[in-house]
Structure 1
């Protein structure tokens, strides 16, 4: 099968790998759609996050079951979206549905005794059946694939916080995750304020429903947020991982407000008295959805097809991944999807 790999600084190519093998409860997926997330950081800067390696890229995918073990709940031909990661499936957190917070993740290649299959930028992948969610009839696979990092992280944190139509939500880091947060917040009826540096993403955020998008280079953003809200926002969600934006989120919430941190990099000093005790604030870390929320998330996606189409700004065949990486590196995109069989 064909697999994308990074071959050097700002260089990539397709390579051949053996088709994956499956064992235990794993299924073989023919990857039809592979959304792009933070892999461009490895391409551009040589920084490998999460499970990324030069020859193993991509953690989001949707496709068709090509093979399944006997007795599996899935059958060849089923259309599914595969949720991110390889949690153990047996710990307390996994049993409660919080698979993304599993502390005892497994190596899929070791489980399946396979030479390949752990990444999405490839024609085939292997996934535990429990993480493969059936896609409703009539839903395009590229829309369903937004249930991964495109919409999943912000959907999950907003469910935990309980965001509703009475809330004003600040979103910092309007990239492929933060822009999905605009869709989620607007679906819940909330008012959204965004912070973005790039004109392309600021305009896209407005198109998706942001009431205001502030450029942090144009004056004191904290004071502008206070002026817009009459004191502060109810909820702030950071999708950037940048300490200055994380600090802004804490400073921008009103008393009894909540901050959700989604981006993994970053280091922040928190003043316990001023930031937490006096404000009565809640700081929350979150990754993806709870497994039980996969169905509700797909139902939401089915109800906002026009927003999903605007959110997916670019589509490329896998052999043009270099162009996709360059566009991501310029921040001139929303969500980009790759098609491994095109």
Structure 2
């Protein structure tokens, strides 16, 4: 933890007081010994300085979306800010020396990258709309997953576990792949019908036996294992659908063509187009989100939280700048 100069709002860049910051992949930097004063890309907070924003006012509770897309390119115009290639320099624009990371008391964000939280959704549940549910929400929207589908989730880290929640809330049947015993058990608790060992020599046969001999209708790779993509491809039926929220591994083109599989890359969710639907997903998934959120830490104890994440014995982990509240779901 370190003390930094207070960020300054300016123009459409507003200042947000962080209420809760979900943890994602930052623990990998901690493990590698890489120090940073701007960690974290997920938060729910309250606007404390709206500057010249025409969208928000002081007191608005908001979901903080990642990055700082330009707001004007074709990707941003379509609400796909995460794919913007011209990120804004918020520190230069505001004259601030801090405010980019979410592991902080306050942060800076363009107003169009803040989504208002409906009054009936508690703060901690709203925080699940970011990386816990967001990437797999988009993947399932693009794959048009329905209650008629059997969906395979490869990897049961926080994103994969969130994918199980998305699929089960839709009503789809879920088969998962996971090695870590804690996460395998959590996957079952969230509604995975079967959790299989991805290293099993007969994995393809196991999945086909569970799906009438054909393979799953749709699959989502979240493990980020270099060897996973071609394996997961083999578990999808002919003319099935396959999505990735990861950055590792390669696919054999001849198998994609031969099976006629639709492939999707899904990094995050479009809050401008799907904000209402995501908020409804959060409402519907509350009981499962309670199970997904396994640990809460004060921001001052972030090193302890990193050490926990390294073990894999956790679901989604939440940080609180002001200390863990007595009733965290409704923290405000």
TM-score category, normalised to shorter length: over 0.9
**Alignment correspondent of 1:43:** 30
Give the equivalent residue in structure 2 for 1:332. Answer: 313
Runs of 5+ in structure 2 lacking a partner? 324-332
Distance 1:102 1:286 in 2: 14
Q: Which deviations, in whole Å up to 9, do the C-alpha atoms of 1:165-208 show, x marking residues without a partner?
A: 11111111110101000000111111111111111100111111
The two structures have a TM-score, normalised by structure 1, of 0.91
Partners of 2:182 and 2:53 lie apart in 1 by 48
CA distance in 2, matches of 1:244, 1:196: 14
Q: Give the Å deviation of 1:259.
A: 1.1
After TM superposition, list the pairs within 5 Å mapping 1:200-279 onto structure 2: 200-229=182-211, 230-264=213-247, 266-268=248-250, 270-273=251-254, 275-279=255-259
Matching of residues 133-148 of structure 1 within 5 Å: 133-148=115-130
| Pairing 1:118–2:105 present | no
Deviations 1:131-152 (A, max 9, x none): 1111111322111011110100
The correspondence for 1:295, drawn from 276, 293, 296, is 276
What SS class does the counterpart of residue 297 from structure 1 fall into?
Answer: helix
Output aligned runs, 1:49-198, within 5 Å.
54-198=36-180
Distance 2:113 2:77 in 1: 13
State the shift of 1:72 in Å. Answer: 2.3
| Aligned-pair Cα RMSD in Å | 1.3
SS in 2 for 1:254: strand
Aligned to 1:33: 20
Q: Deviations over 1:1-44 (max 9, x none)?
A: xxxxxxxxxxxxx1000110111211100001000000011111
CA separation in 2, counterparts of 1:71 and 1:91? 20
Query: How many residues matched?
Result: 321
Residue 251 of structure 1 deviates from its aligned partner by 1.1
1:317 to 284, 298, 310: 298
Q: TM-score, normalised by structure 2?
A: 0.94
Name 2:329's counterpart in structure 1. Answer: none
